[in-house]
Amino acid sequence: MKFFSAFFLLCISLFISIYTFSITFASTSTNLHLEQTPKIVFVEEMQSFLPQIMDNLNTECNISEMNFDPRLWDNLYQWISSQIKSNDVKRLSLWAQEEMQNYNYIPKAVKTEINLVGCRGKYVVFESTLDDLPSHHPLVVRWLKTYIVTSAPNLLFENYIVVTVRGDRFE
Residue 149: the pLDDT is 87
Tens of pLDDT along 13-47? 433 332 333 333 333 333 335 555 577 999 999 99
Residue 21: the pLDDT is 31
Residue 13: the pLDDT is 41
Q: How confident is the model at residue 160 (pLDDT cuts 50, 70, 90)?
A: confident
If you average pLDDT over every residue of the chain, what do you get?
Answer: 77
Q: How confident is the model at residue 52 (pLDDT cuts 50, 70, 90)?
A: confident
Asked if residues 97 and 134 have their Cβ atoms less than 8 Å apart, the reply is: no
Tens of pLDDT along 108-157? 877 788 888 998 888 889 999 999 999 999 999 999 999 988 877 666 55
Tens of pLDDT along 131-145? 999 999 999 999 999
Look up the pTM and report it.
0.75
Say which amino acid occupies 99. Answer: E
